[in-house]
Each structure stands twice: as structure tokens, then as C-alpha cells.
Amino acid sequence: MRMYDLIMKKRNGNELTKEEIDFFIGGYTEGSIPDYQVSALLMAIYFQKMNKRETAELTMAMVNSGETIDLSAIEGVKVDKHSTGGVGDTTTLILGPIVAAAGVPVAKMSGRGLGHTGGTIDKLESFDGFSVAMSIEKFIQNVNDVKIAIGGQTADLAPADKKLYALRDVTATVDNMSLIAGSIMSKKIASGADAIVLDIKTGSGAFMKSEDDAFELAGEMVHIGTNVSRNTIGVITDMDQPLGYAVGNALEVKEAIDTLKGEGPEDLTELCLTLGAHMLVLGKKAKDEHEARKILMDIIKSGKGLQKLRQLVVAQGGDPAYVDDPSKFPLPAIVEPIISSYEGYVKAIKADDIGRAALVLGAGRETKESIIDLAVGIVLHKKIGDFVCKGEAIATIYANDDEKQKLSTKMILDAYEIVKEKIIAKPLIKGIVTKDGITKF
């Protein structure tokens, strides 16, 4: 078998067999197939696409390129959640504890952020001493003892995906449904979950800008999961503005704590209840979504969700005093309101620009080597549909550098569109995709 023949076959619009997909993934992972040939094949896939069978087989080839995690020693149905990412997306810090408190084991492998803001691990490291470094045995023990553990992804988990993604990133081949779906699902399947809930974002702050593309991506991923006997559900959610109000690591953790107290933003709370309800149903702790939502709301009201976050922090070496006293989180040197020069209703907030403004402050990474400033970020005061008076604060900026603060402030002001006519915000939940079909709301 020759890589040349696979490139020509896909270039001409033909299907690759399982054996051919296994050959190119195996060869590229071990280093016998060079970057330039894989780049050519990726470009052929970008233009000619892959069908559902090819996509599923590509995913499993990436799963089998390295270690897979065996979670069979964990009691119960293990349900994982994945978000395609957005601005202010801190759902894991709320969702994990409330789902765990309901008795569904949460064994989650998470990553660090690259771009806009920090990843889940970066946010959790706002707790002094918190560590994701642990053996798989300790990880499993924590889930059995506390019902939740959050670990870092190892280099041996789907290594083919890491190599392919790095190559796609520099060859303009990231934006392909099969390659995106395969990348996400290979890591989820290798991580050992029994069932998967996917939060697929759509809008200005999401990778999938159009709803149609988001539904298509969800369909691809649900098909892959179903194909390998993982009960998989895709929830399409709005990212035309940041989720919640906080953007930045310690700021988002504080907002997560508020949400676990029942005092969080309405949209963030609703998203966590929606995703969590699906996780409880898949985890066989509720017969339907209505019952699951009631269980989760009772967990928040009773303080059990906050207690579970405290247990997670303690189990992974962090200081639980931060949960009870969020003033312990790092504070920046500069805290300044951002004042509107206009009066009217917020029509739009360019979520990407808000994310970039946080990145300028140091809340995210421009490269893998960048050091995140956990204290900096933005807290919005106005969202789409809200009325703004001239001279009123639309946001507060948290910074440690005057020049960065000035640049970020301009970016935030430019991200807001304020009009005279009253605006009605779009619904947060756009629809659900399951193996049985699509439901749009």
C-alpha cells in the first residue's frame, strides 16, 4: 500500500477503505509517512469530504493510535461532556459537581486553553494547590470516592489526533466536518466514557458560525458515538454573546461558585441544567429530563453542588477555603468600569472580540508557552436585549498592565452594538440531535 495511491484516490473523490485509513494514521503516528504527504491527503479530504463510514473509521483509527483509558473499575454509567468552546464557557465547573452530587460518576479529561481564555484546567488552578497530575489508579479512586475527578489529557491519548491537528492548523484544513468530528470524538472515546453529551456552540463566538453547520457537526459526532456503542447526544447552543458575565479564569471560577449557590447568571444556569439533565438520563439517575432538572435544581438549592466542588478541590490538593471565600482568588492591580457613550438597547456583542480582549489582558494563551494571568479578565454588565444609559458601565475590566487595559477597553467598546429599537435576545438552546434524529427549537 502506498500513500501516493491514497492521495490520488481521495483527490478523485473516491472512498478510502478501513485498511487504507488505518495505514495512513498508523504510518503518520509512527513517523514513516511524511508531513507533506499527509498534508496533501488532508487537503484532498477537505475538498472531497468523507462519508459517515469513513469518518467513523478515521475516528477509531485515531483512538487506536495510542492508549485508551479503561474506566470499568468505576461504579455506574460514566457520562462525559464536551463543549466545542466559546467565550465565558465555564460549564464544567458547575456541571461536574451537580451531576456528581446526583450520583453520576464524572471522570473527565480536560485540556488547557489555547486562544481566547484558559481551559478548564487553567481555571481550576485558580484554587491554590489544585493539581490534575495523578495516576490513572488515583483518578479512578477519586471518582469512586468523590464521584468526580478532572485530569489532564496525556500525550498517549489519541496521539494521531494531536499530530494531525497541528498539521491541519498550518495547512488551512481545520474547517472540515469529518476532521473536526473525528478529532473531538477520538479523545472522548479514548477517555473511556460510556455515554457522551456534546455542547455544540453556534454564533459569533463559536467555531461553527452557522446553525446549519452546528447541526451537521452534531449529526456527525452522534453517528460516530452511536457507531461504537456510546450513547451520544448533541445539544446546539447559542454563542452569539459570551456565556454568563465573566470572561477570565479566576473571574469565571467565582461566577461558577455563585451559580452553585443559585445566584449565577440565568443563561449559564439554564445551560448547566439542560446539559446536566441529559447526563442524568444517560446515567440512569432520572427517567426523563423533567425529573432530572428537578433533581439538579434541588442539588443547587440544598448546597450539595457547592459541597461537591469543595470535595473535588480537596481531593486534588486544592485549598477549599477559596470555595467559601472567593475573595482569596488572585486580584489584579487595575479594576476599571467601561462606560458607554451611547443610550439604547444592546443589539449585539461580538463574542470573538470580547474573547480577544481578554486574551490581550493575559487571560488566554497566544502560544502553548504563554503564561496565563489568572486574575485578569472582563465582567460584562449588559447583555443582548438590555437597556444602556449614556454614561452607564457596560462592563468592568480587570487588568495588570495599563497599556493592555487601554487596548482591551477599546476592543470591548467596539464589540458592543447599541441601537434605539428594543431587541429580543435569541434563545439559548437551539435544538437536540440524537441517534433518532434532529429536534430544532
* CATH number, residue 384: 3.90.1170.30
Express each pLDDT in 167-217 by its tens digit.
Answer: 998 898 988 999 999 998 998 899 888 999 999 999 888 888 899 999 999
Give the mean model confidence (pLDDT) for residues 297-301: 98
Residue 62 CA, chain-centre distance (Å), reads: 20
When mean pLDDT is compared across 130-134, 232-236, 250-254, the lowest value belongs to: 130-134
Q: Is the residue at 70 inside a domain? A: no
- Within a 10 A sphere around the Cβ of 339, how many other Cβ atoms? 13
341 flagged as catalytic: no
Are 228 and 345 in the same domain? no
Q: Is the residue at 68 inside a domain? A: no
161 flagged as catalytic: yes
Question: pLDDT grade, residue 110 (50/70/90)?
Answer: confident
What is the structure's pLDDT at 207?
80
Domain at 41, CATH number: 1.20.970.10
Are 190 and 284 in the same domain? yes
Domain at 132, CATH number: 3.40.1030.10
What are the backbone angles phi and psi of residue 311, rounded to the nearest 5°?
A: -65, -40
What's the sign of the alpha-carbon dihedral 292, 293, 299, 305? Answer: positive
Are 190 and 299 in the same domain? yes
When mean pLDDT is compared across 104-113, 255-264, 393-402, the lowest value belongs to: 104-113
Options 162, 163, 168, 230, the catalytic residue? 168
CA 266, CA 396: separation in Å to the nearest integer? Answer: 19
Options 78, 81, 82, 382, the catalytic residue? 82
Check pLDDT > 90 for residue 317.
Answer: yes
What is the structure's pLDDT at 73?
94
Domain coverage including residue 311:
79-324+429-440
Q: Is the residue at 387 inside a domain? A: yes
Cα angle for residues 299, 301, 307 (degrees, 5° grid): 60
Check pLDDT > 70 for residue 118.
Answer: no
Are 338 and 313 in the same domain? no
Are 273 and 343 in the same domain? no
Provide the β-strand partners of residue 195.
Answer: 79, 231
Check pLDDT > 70 for residue 114.
Answer: no
213 flagged as catalytic: no
Q: Whose CA is closest to 378, among 334, 425, 423, 327?
A: 334
Question: pLDDT grade, residue 425 (50/70/90)?
Answer: confident
Helix (H) or strand (E) holding 92: helix 91-101
Helix (H) or strand (E) holding 159: helix 159-170
435 flagged as catalytic: no
Are 83 and 103 in the same domain? yes
Are 217 and 317 in the same domain? yes
Q: Is the residue at 73 inside a domain? A: no
**pLDDT above 70 as % of the chain:** 97
Provide the β-strand partners of residue 115.
Answer: 365
Q: Whose CA is closest to 439, among 288, 227, 215?
A: 215
Are 301 and 352 in the same domain? no
- Within a 10 A sphere around the Cβ of 407, how many other Cβ atoms? 15
Check pLDDT > 90 for residue 132.
Answer: no
What is the structure's pLDDT at 166?
85
Express each pLDDT in 344-379 by its tens digit.
Answer: 999 999 998 999 999 999 988 776 677 889 999 999
Hey, what's the cell of 291?
425529573
Q: Is the residue at 306 inside a domain? A: yes
Check pLDDT > 70 for residue 428.
Answer: yes
When mean pLDDT is compared across 12-26, 172-186, 381-395, the lowest value belongs to: 172-186
What is the structure's pLDDT at 100?
97
Question: pLDDT grade, residue 7 (50/70/90)?
Answer: very high
Question: pLDDT grade, residue 301 (50/70/90)?
Answer: very high
Q: Is the residue at 295 inside a domain? A: yes
Q: Is the residue at 424 inside a domain? A: no
Q: Is the residue at 69 inside a domain? A: no
Hey, what's the cell of 65?
493510535
The total of structural domains in the chain comes to 3
Are 336 and 381 in the same domain? yes
Options 10, 108, 162, 187, the catalytic residue? 187
Task: Report the mean per-residue pLDDT for the chain.
Answer: 92
Question: pLDDT grade, residue 117 (50/70/90)?
Answer: low
Are 320 and 335 in the same domain? no
Are 241 and 364 in the same domain? no
Options 22, 89, 122, 161, the catalytic residue? 161
Are 87 and 232 in the same domain? yes
35 flagged as catalytic: no
